[in-house]
A and B are shown apart, each in its own frame.
Chain A
């Protein structure tokens, strides 16, 4: 038996790194969505409020609370500092930290310190009495904190197996989140696909792009004239923009290929699922997608993403002992 010293990674630790990364991505995504939403609200009449909130909750997969008015303060709290909501920012950052804590000897100390700092920052906001004194500043800090963590990760951790699990978690989460966001948006705002949107609605579409940090990049590609078809194409199929589905799926596939190689596992399943999804995206035309229904299309992406997730779990994290002994 040869000794693969540099590739030894405990299944549990890989699982921890994967989930740490998913949770952090989720926290960042949530922070960006609420931030964009609050900014958008400033330009709108107060009545426009409640169906936007429902859309936001749906995009974040948080069940709408019962028996409470959907008012900004309550819902912002629910999504940011509410420890009883497992998808709130504070819960996600805490879960990310707890996962990294269990994989500390695999990451660099700089990474741990950054995530720990972010956690302490969020926690101290939660424990101060005045709630969110400067909400924009808070959401900014969460996003910056997550970006800083990614930068530190890329420059202080060796780009081996563990790093690939971090990539994997981030882009699986991103694919799902962006797909869900596009889905809820197209349901809520049906609009002639190839017409430029205007006035009140224009802001909503800016909001969608900003929620994916894509507004500026879109403008560079297509100018500030927003057409739903182009927006959908940009967010779904643009190969170079880091929050597009095509880009994210490509990263998922790259990470899985690298992991399969490093572990020398016969792991067709996850690589196959990710590869198929990637191929579908790279050979898709936006007109065809829209013709057969954007919503069905993003749902199928989410479904395949979930399949890939399950396959990763079964092959790397939670395999049966019998299968491993035979191998």
Chain B
């Protein structure tokens, strides 16, 4: 217990060096801070990593006034385009611009290749896992993953048992959160297999940066991301429902919960980029187990639904009864094979934070391979000895509710009050299955342009994985930034921002 406590302190200790040790330390880097977290830009104070050298030089040469102007222009353009998100639980002024940082996060080609193969492996294994638990349950029978864990999960959908989904693909769109640990390796923090969002910010950030750093961008040789919408459409089209015959191309629509959803901008953006209809529940209806949309020219049959509505709200006849976001009868149409859904229903079981701990075992079981990307160590609180350890160390660990996302329902030990810890202790003891704990990770840090200078902030990385005819990763992703000094939480709802991610060509 004692040693790990010192280690935590060590992580947060600031490394100070005399100014003379790094002559390159000029504005805007004068106040740039280092600690034991991995720094994306510098290998040592004042010495940039090779792939960051050109950006570093550009920033030294560029008057910070100019950067500030670019930043204001970018912010204004976001506001005018309405690139906003909604903060729940506050009525007036709920639309906020998602803060965007101008300094790109740069990832060398070799590192990206590893991420790509690691995530491809992961999505393949998770899909096999879902198919298995909704059919024969071999992995449960073999005792690799405990039965109770699966059957007690709120996101396990009994209704999906025995149902065959097109190509056996349950998760076609996935956004996986990666963090870089102090040793420089990427690890998977969590998988988002239900309705991951944020990809529109990846595209919007890129558009802004191309304007701000045109020459630098070209000279760097950055892999393009603009084909994402096209790849997404191809992925969705690959999911033609079983009873689809004769017609030329499947009709794909995007189902949104509506204008009050926090990601509504993204829904309109993707629909527009793909050239498909953006529908709400009230635009669809089911007749004889066939889904139609209500158009001005009459009813039109729908074949594939990219739904951005949670399982619970999809069909009031089957799931939450009071939902007005869904379409009555949709599940039966799905069961009959007249329509496909992406992602399938019931995928939340595989991104349950307790099941997460078993993903390395899941990969070995189905693929017979070692995981390419590591997991973060995770304590399962249903295990008595692990629970005791966690309860003794609440002030060092991060505790998360298994079914939550978006940074809600979390305890960050080192930044918590005694009261909060007591609250979580009670909650854990009452429902141990509902929580997991992880060590407080020191996320890597990258320079952000704040208050007219470069400051180090913690970042993560969410690449987007598409699985249709084959697995596609658009090189890049959303780098999320914890904009508050010292904060480790990058979620947009909790004061996070984002920056463009440049994956370099070979």
Contacts and interface: CB of A to CB of B under 8 A. Distances in A.
Interface in A1-58: 1, 3-4, 7-14
Contacts of B296: 9-11, 14, 161, 259, 263, 265, 316-317
Pick from B271, B272, B295 the residue with the most CB of A within 10 Å.
B295
Contact of B80 (A1, A9, A11, A117): A117
B272 A12 contact: no
A13 B269 CA distance: 15
A302 interface: no
A12 B271 contact: no
B193 interface: no
A327 interface: yes
Contact of B272 (A105, A120, A264, A327): A105
B79 interface: yes
Contacts of A105: 268-269, 271-272, 277-278
Given A105-B268, A105-B271, A117-B80, A10 B287 contact: no
B295 A8 contact: yes
B282 A321 contact: no
Interface residues of B, number: 30
A136 interface: no
A82 interface: no
A11 B283 contact: yes
B248 interface: yes
Nearest to A104: B268
A116 B297 CA distance: 30
A311 to B, nearest CB: 14
A7 B296 CA distance: 9
B26 interface: no
Contact of B297 (A8, A12, A117): A8
| A interface residue count range (under 10 / 10 to 19 / 20 to 34 / 35 or more) | 35 or more
Interface string B264-282: 1000110110000111101
Contact of A10 (B81, B249, B279): B279
Contacts of B264: 101
B214 interface: no
Interface string B234-271: 00000000000001110000000011000010001101
Contact of A116 (B80, B277, B278, B295): B80
A262 B82 CA distance: 31
Contacts of A12: 280, 282-283, 294
B211 interface: no
A4 B81 CA distance: 30
Nearest to B268: A104
Interface of B: 79-82, 247-249, 258-259, 264, 268-269, 271-272, 277-280, 282-283, 285, 287, 293-300
25 contacts: A3-B248, A3-B249, A8-B297, A9-B297, A10-B295, A12-B283, A12-B294, A14-B296, A98-B259, A101-B82, A101-B259, A104-B278, A105-B271, A109-B81, A116-B80, A120-B79, A120-B80, A161-B296, A259-B296, A262-B297, A263-B298, A265-B297, A316-B296, A319-B294, A324-B299
Given A3-B249, A10-B279, 7 more contacts: A8-B295, A11-B283, A105-B271, A109-B272, A112-B81, A113-B81, A316-B296
